[in-house]
Amino acid sequence: MKLFRTLIPLDEALKTVLSYAKRTEIEEFRFDDALNRVLAEDVCSPADSPPFDRAAMDGYAIKGEDSFGASQNNPVFLRKKSRRGEKEKEKEKENEIEIGEGEYLHIQTGMQLPKGSNAVVMLEYAKERGTELELFKPVTPGKNVSFKGEDVKKGEEVLKEGRLLRAHDIGMFASLFKTKVKVYKRAKVGIISTGDELLDPKESFEGEKKIADVNSYVLEALLKKIASPYRIGIVRDDYEEIKNAIRFSLEEGCDGLLISGGSSVGKRDFIADVVEDLGKLVFHGVAIRPGEPTGFGVINNKPVFVLPGYPVATISAFEMLVRPFLYAIHGVKEPRGKIFAMASKKIPSAVGRTDFVRVKLLCTENGYYAEPIRVSGSGILSSMTKSDGFVVIEENKEGVEEGEKVEVNVWEW
Amino acid sequence: MKLFRTLIPLDEALKTVLSYAKRTEIEEFRFDDALNRVLAEDVCSPADSPPFDRAAMDGYAIKGEDSFGASQNNPVFLRKKSRRGEKEKEKEKENEIEIGEGEYLHIQTGMQLPKGSNAVVMLEYAKERGTELELFKPVTPGKNVSFKGEDVKKGEEVLKEGRLLRAHDIGMFASLFKTKVKVYKRAKVGIISTGDELLDPKESFEGEKKIADVNSYVLEALLKKIASPYRIGIVRDDYEEIKNAIRFSLEEGCDGLLISGGSSVGKRDFIADVVEDLGKLVFHGVAIRPGEPTGFGVINNKPVFVLPGYPVATISAFEMLVRPFLYAIHGVKEPRGKIFAMASKKIPSAVGRTDFVRVKLLCTENGYYAEPIRVSGSGILSSMTKSDGFVVIEENKEGVEEGEKVEVNVWEW
């Protein structure tokens, strides 16, 4: 039985892993299929938005100057812009109608302001009688008008490369008539679980002592939002079988691999040996808890993560090393969602090791509290489902005191 | 031109809308297809997890009592459990091997503890020489052991009905061998944009003065995570055409409808009239800004939301009324992600109206600051893409002072 190898600090492991990150290719998508994809170009507006000065309110378009001096007791009277026959109607349709001094015209929110006008009087502040408008309040020029280019100017950058596209961005593309968008291609990531004791939960459940393959399903679900997972399934604890599974996944076009050990040890080194055999094992053993037996290697220029057998340890290693790697290759520039909270109780931690502490967030009048979930081994999957996120306790820190401020990384899906 | 109708307060509108919320049907899914679905059952564990006492560390399984008194200077010596022939090997495989007094056995993380043992000695604290173990430290019974049922006890509730399922939950199902899960069926929601001036951005872009249909794409993207959107597209400002589009969407099996007006007004009442004609218009006009012209009706027992033409107003109405309605019919019990922040500047607001203020979150040493995005009309779509979430300023509140604590609703996708 081998002793634990030397553990390298998390920051060193992360730096190493990121040094192997190569950006994925760029592909073009229809804008409305690009939700949750990472933008691979800077998007600038091809035109002003709004494309013309328009009414921001329902009301009457006027020359603001005409209203000066108006009051409840001394109203100003304006004439309705007369529409002489079809030609004028045509003009109005094309927004070419022009308002002269002392004139007004009905206008609705979003309509182009007629030439000559520069303000909109709200319905409440005027009374229309036939073709005359009684105005009780002065209106400064520009009032209730959305000016051309006020939202976005022609050529202005509206979305930056690296943006994880959300619903509003899809709307922004629509508004700019940008029908094709460049996004980073999702890496195809193979997922292998190893272990003689593992049973696929979809197979029939015989007896109480079987251990389900949890890792391949959790990793698949975690990958879904950012990459293209390819779940290969369970491979027995056999050197040649593991070797063949790795070869198979690379032949199937996987851009990278996540291989996790069974729930017992020993076979970890075993996987590492296969990686070393087929390519290069870059490191094995990281000072994080849970997740110590995490390793990283390269086969045919493809990254291979060697993950622990216990689900919580695998999730810990995923969040600490695999997710940053995936963000790097997919060009995600935004930070993860973080919330500051006070530790509701002391959280012990050993110096020389980075701890991954699952916490529940409690929202109170005085702000957020982070309640550490009782931890007693990385087999405790309920510590994940009960938590809202995790706190990283750095290597050189001897735990966190009650009431101390911590940064909570909220789970992402 | 009609004046604005009487506006009802947001809480009244919300109460009304929710009174029409009927839970969707329940369907059964394969557990690994249930990500982001809403759980429609309480899930209890069919068995203890772990299913047996197991090692939480690599090391040696012993009777803890045998180690009492051990120290660096006075080590305790234990004998390796002898394995006599095939029969014992078979037993070991079945975890039926038993450890007697003064005996030890190799054990790896996750392996079942042999009978008779009750603790695991870490590799660091012992030295094996042949079939003898030299022990330098006492180990209390229970040390480095994960006990049966420690994670989840048989019959214990692990996930509650109403849970929006995330990656860890998929893993939990796997660990419980729960292959089928009951989830709420996603409602099919029809989306119609109305407006003569609208052009589908996928059509060729002619001239600078066309207005793109943004709403149907934004609403589709917003619906994707929680419901099943059915984008019908643009309908001209014609009473009969709108009537036909509504009839069509209901014939197509839509469980509800979102109809938004063009970017100008007037036609809003027009849509409302069609709703009143085909069914019942429950309210029209809500004291929220943006989003005042929002309405709600019922046709053939199906909810119909009448939304404003401007995208930002539509998004505001969506977040304030449509999302809570969708959460209600799909049984989502969890609250939206909220962050407390300090207003970085004064945010003015009128009493008698609920304001929907887009904010950017700034993360500083002193916590979060919410920076309101310059607002000048609900056509300003960039106010959405630049923001991280929104603050609701309640009806009876006259704005927010600089430094005041506000609750930011972080955007959900």
* Local confidence band at B389 (pLDDT 50, 70, 90 cut-offs): confident
Give domain limits for chain B: 10-24+187-330, 27-49+150-184, 54-146, 338-410
> For domain B54-146, is the CATH number 3.30.460.10?
no
* Local confidence band at A95 (pLDDT 50, 70, 90 cut-offs): low
Choose the weakest-confidence range: A19-23, A24-28, A308-312. A308-312
Question: Which of these, B292, A320, B229, A30, lies nearest to B284 by C-alpha position?
Answer: B292
In terms of Cβ atoms closer than 10 Å to its own Cβ (0-12, 13-18, 19+), residue B396 is exposed
Give mean pLDDT, residues A337-347: 87
User: Which residues of chain A have a CB within 8 Å of the CB of B110?
Assistant: 211, 262-265, 309-310, 379
CA separation (Å) from A225 to A37, A379, B317? 9, 25, 27
Q: What angle do CA B301, B307, B309 make, to 5 degrees?
A: 150
Tell whether B196 is within 8 A of chain A (Cβ).
no
Tell whether B262 is within 8 A of chain A (Cβ).
yes
Neighbour tally for B106: CB within 10 Å: 17
Choose the weakest-confidence range: A5-9, A174-178, A336-340. A336-340
* Local confidence band at B2 (pLDDT 50, 70, 90 cut-offs): very low
Residue B109 to residue A413, Cβ atoms within 8 A? no
Question: Which of these, B339, B337, B296, lies nearest to B318 by C-alpha position?
Answer: B296
Could you give the maximum distance between any two Cα atoms of chain B, in Å? 99
Give the tens place of pLDDT for each residue, B188-203: 999 999 988 788 988 8
Chain centre to alpha carbon of residue A115: 44
Tell whether B168 is within 8 A of chain A (Cβ).
yes
Can you tell me the ipTM of this complex?
A: 0.85
Cβ–Cβ < 8 Å for B295, B306: yes
Could you say which architecture CATH assigns to the domain B27-49+150-184?
Alpha-Beta Complex (3.90)
In chain A, which among 19-78 make CB contacts under 8 A with chain B? Answer: 30-32, 35-36, 47-52, 54, 56, 58
State which amino acid sits at residue A133.
Answer: L
What pLDDT score does B13 carry?
Answer: 95
Q: How far apart are CA B330 and CA B21, in angstroms?
A: 9
B217, closest residue in chain A (CA to CA): A171
What pLDDT score does A377 carry?
Answer: 57
Give the tens place of pLDDT for each residue, A315-332: 989 989 999 999 999 999
- What is the fold, at CATH topology level, of the domain defined by A338-410? Beta-clip (2.40.340)
* Local confidence band at A133 (pLDDT 50, 70, 90 cut-offs): very high
Q: In angstroms, what separates the C-alpha of B316 from chain A's closest C-alpha?
A: 12
Query: DSSP string covering A188-206, please?
Result: EEEEEEE-TTEE-TTS---
In terms of Cβ atoms closer than 10 Å to its own Cβ (0-12, 13-18, 19+), residue B207 is exposed
Give mean pLDDT, residues B224-230: 94
In this model, does residue B207 exceed pLDDT 60? Answer: no
Strand partners, A299: A302
In this model, does residue A88 exceed pLDDT 60? Answer: no
CATH number, span B10-24+187-330? 3.40.980.10
Give mean pLDDT, residues B267-279: 84
In this model, does residue A264 exceed pLDDT 50? Answer: no
Give mean pLDDT, residues A85-93: 55
pLDDT more than 70, % of chain A: 89
Give mean pLDDT, residues A2-21: 85
CATH number, span A26-49+150-184? 3.90.105.10
Cβ–Cβ < 8 Å for A411, B168: yes
Q: In angstroms, what separates the C-alpha of B318 from chain A's closest C-alpha?
A: 12
Residue B175 to residue A58, Cβ atoms within 8 A? no
Choose the weakest-confidence range: A147-151, B257-261, B270-274. A147-151
Give the tens place of pLDDT for each residue, B284-336: 999 988 888 899 999 999 999 999 888 888 998 998 999 999 999 999 986 56
Give mean pLDDT, residues B224-241: 93
B374 SS3 class = coil
What pLDDT score does A211 carry?
Answer: 80
What pLDDT score does A210 carry?
Answer: 66
pLDDT more than 90, % of chain A: 52
What pLDDT score does A64 carry?
Answer: 93
Q: Is the dihedral of CA B2, B8, B14, B16 positive or negative?
A: negative
pLDDT more than 70, % of chain B: 89
- Which of B106, B175, B340 has the CB atom closest to A381's CB atom? B175
Tell whether B160 is within 8 A of chain A (Cβ).
no
Q: In angstroms, what separates the C-alpha of B286 from chain A's closest C-alpha?
A: 16
Cβ–Cβ < 8 Å for B322, B330: no
In chain B, which among 198-237 make CB contacts under 8 A with chain A? Answer: 201-202, 205, 208-215, 217-218, 220-222, 224
What pLDDT score does A343 carry?
Answer: 94
What pLDDT score does B227 carry?
Answer: 96
In chain A, which among 267-306 make CB contacts under 8 A with chain B? Answer: none
User: Which residues of chain B have a CB within 8 Å of the CB of A222?
Assistant: 167
A151, closest residue in chain B (CA to CA): B380
B52, closest residue in chain A (CA to CA): A209
In this model, does residue A92 exceed pLDDT 70? Answer: no
Tell whether A159 is within 8 A of chain B (Cβ).
yes
- What is the fold, at CATH topology level, of the domain defined by A10-22+186-330? Molybdenum Cofactor Biosythetic Enzyme; Chain A (3.40.980)
In this model, does residue B407 exceed pLDDT 80? Answer: yes
Neighbour tally for A207: CB within 10 Å: 8
Give mean pLDDT, residues B254-270: 73
- Which of A167, A310, A338 has the CB atom closest to B221's CB atom? A167
User: Which residues of chain A have a CB within 8 Å of the CB of B48?
Assistant: 208
What pLDDT score does B365 carry?
Answer: 72
Give the tens place of pLDDT for each residue, B148-184: 888 788 998 989 999 989 899 999 999 888 999 999 9
What pLDDT score does A183 carry?
Answer: 98
Q: In angstroms, what separates the C-alpha of A110 from chain B's closest C-alpha?
A: 5
* Local confidence band at A290 (pLDDT 50, 70, 90 cut-offs): confident
Query: DSSP string covering A203-257, please?
Result: S---SS--EE--HHHHHHHHHHTTSEEEEEEEE-S-HHHHHHHHHHHHHTT-SEE
User: Which residues of chain A have a CB within 8 Å of the CB of B179?
Assistant: 201-202
Neighbour tally for B394: CB within 10 Å: 13
Question: Which of these, A370, A31, A349, lies nearest to A170 by C-alpha position?
Answer: A31
Residue A377 to residue B150, Cβ atoms within 8 A? yes
Residues in Cβ contact with B366 at an 8 Å cutoff, skipping those fewer than 6 apart: B342
What pLDDT score does A102 carry?
Answer: 93
Neighbour tally for B168: CB within 10 Å: 25
* Local confidence band at A2 (pLDDT 50, 70, 90 cut-offs): very low
B292, closest residue in chain A (CA to CA): A57
Give the tens place of pLDDT for each residue, A196-232: 878 898 886 655 556 889 999 999 999 998 999 999 9
